[in-house]
Amino acid sequence: MEDRITPGIVLCSKFALPNQKAYGRYVDYVDRKNAVKKSEFAQYTDYMDNPLKQQSYSHCNALFTAQSDHLTAAEKSLFKKRLHAAQQNGSPLWQNVISFKNDWLAKNGLYSTQNHTVNEVAVRSAVRQAMRVMLKNEQMPAAVWAAAIHYNTGNLHIHIAVAEPFPTRPLQEWHGKMVRRGKLKESTLDKMKSAVVNRLVDRSPEQQRLNDVMRKSLLASVPSDLWTVNKELRQSFLSLYGRLPPDRRLWKYNMNTLQKLRPVIDSLSRECFTRYHYVEYQNFQHLLKQEEQFLKSAYGESRNFAANKTRDLYTRMGNVILSAARRYDLQCHTDYTKRYSKQTVSGSISAAFHAVCRRAARNACLDRALSSLRKAVSFTRETEQAQQAYKQLQTAIQRAELEQEQPFAYKNNLYFGV
């Protein structure tokens, strides 16, 4: 389990039902000198709009919504009426808070440590994107929301109030009463955080560079015949090839039938990277580390980014290797077809004999056994003589298989033009 660090962004969300006493807690935050009797929904709006909380650096840090950067008095009144309607109609009130580490904002060019000001245009844009994600993911397109940036604590934070004037959330029983579902999905909160981070900090150039190194340098530059003509890789390739299942349709990296062979395939991929693309592979690792460090600084954890990206690389490289194995296997069978196309075996042993030939195409020792015993098979003899020779062939092949520590494909003199 990876070590967690303090994240640069924290998003939390809670909700309260219209008749819950929890709403009263927000009254404590209201500026009592200006307070009048309002619904508890409206009191929370006043708390968010409290100038003491905002420190009034500019008009930009007042209440804002999806459409407005600064609500006028009339717009604020209209919003409060909508919240009151939501309360009367039984909508939960969602209270989202997005909090930032100021040094994380400063590191990413969003906060001035000298003037203690933040790029509010960027922050509002990020909040709006997060709210689009929330309303879409929770299927609340008609919900209303307002937010305010607060500077009154050590870290910048944004309060967001969300409600549905005409509730659409499913009803569920709570303490003997039917109420609207208030809990948000964890996936929604994760996507909201990602939306904020991605809108505030554009990492697409770094991610594109990482993908280019992987696809254009590490994968695209691999010659299709590298595995069979390169002496260093050939033996490892042939060892893998000899262990693949007979059905070529199963030769795909993520197939369950290849689960036990994946470490072997990964080892061959790693051998190729370290021998022939060492600089590119080191660059890939360096870029991975940089991106992982950014993710940890933002979320407190890397979200397994490096492991997932590395697995993606090895999956793609594994399929490159398996594609080469399919081409090699087809070539083996093509050569054997040409070699035995003029020879026929009478009776029921014809298909079996050619099946043995195909198996022999995947094993050097079996090829040697086949070559010696094939002379004993007379294609003009009677069926009994052919069957006897075939049995001898099977016995020799089984003996050869037992002598093999592991099967491997043809030696150089047949398929590598040596």
Per-residue tens of pLDDT for the chain, all 418 residues: 556 689 999 999 999 888 865 543 432 342 222 322 334 455 555 655 665 555 544 434 578 999 999 999 899 889 988 988 998 899 999 999 999 999 999 999 999 988 888 999 999 999 999 999 999 999 999 999 999 999 888 899 999 999 999 999 999 998 888 999 999 999 999 999 999 999 999 999 999 999 999 999 999 878 878 777 788 888 899 999 999 999 999 999 999 999 999 999 999 999 999 988 999 999 999 999 999 999 999 999 988 999 999 999 999 999 999 999 999 888 887 776 666 655 544 444 445 544 554 455 455 434 433 343 344 333 334 444 555 655 666 666 666 555 544 444 443 333 333 3
State the Cα torsion 23-26-27-31 to the nearest 10°: -160
- Amino acid in position 386: A
Specify whether 163 is located in the same domain as 210: no
Specify whether 384 is located in the same domain as 418: yes
Choosing from 340, 364, 399, the residue where a domain stops is 340
Q: Is 2 within the bounds of a domain? A: no
Q: State the helix-helix crossing angle for 278-299 and 305-340, rounded to 10 degrees.
A: 140
Domain that holds residue 221: 203-340
- Amino acid in position 287: L
pLDDT computed for residue 393 by the predictor: 63
Q: Is 3 within the bounds of a domain? A: no
Q: Phi, psi at residue 388, to the nearest 5°?
A: -60, -45
How many whole angstroms separate alpha carbon 133 and alpha carbon 160?
14
Specify whether 292 is located in the same domain as 397: no
Phi-psi sector, 300: left (phi>0), alpha (psi -120 to 50), beta:
left
Q: Is 1 within the bounds of a domain? A: no
pLDDT computed for residue 40 by the predictor: 47
Choosing from 139, 168, 201, the residue where a domain stops is 201
pLDDT computed for residue 390 by the predictor: 58
pLDDT computed for residue 137 by the predictor: 98
Hey, what are 165's tokens?
A: 């004037």
Specify whether 22 is located in the same domain as 164: yes
Radius of gyration of the chain (CA): 35
pLDDT computed for residue 416 by the predictor: 34
Specify whether 44 is located in the same domain as 149: yes
Q: Is 51 within the bounds of a domain? A: yes
CA distances to 280, 315, 354 from 221, in Å: 11, 16, 38
* Total domains in the fold of the chain: 3
pLDDT computed for residue 50 by the predictor: 62
Specify whether 190 is located in the same domain as 289: no
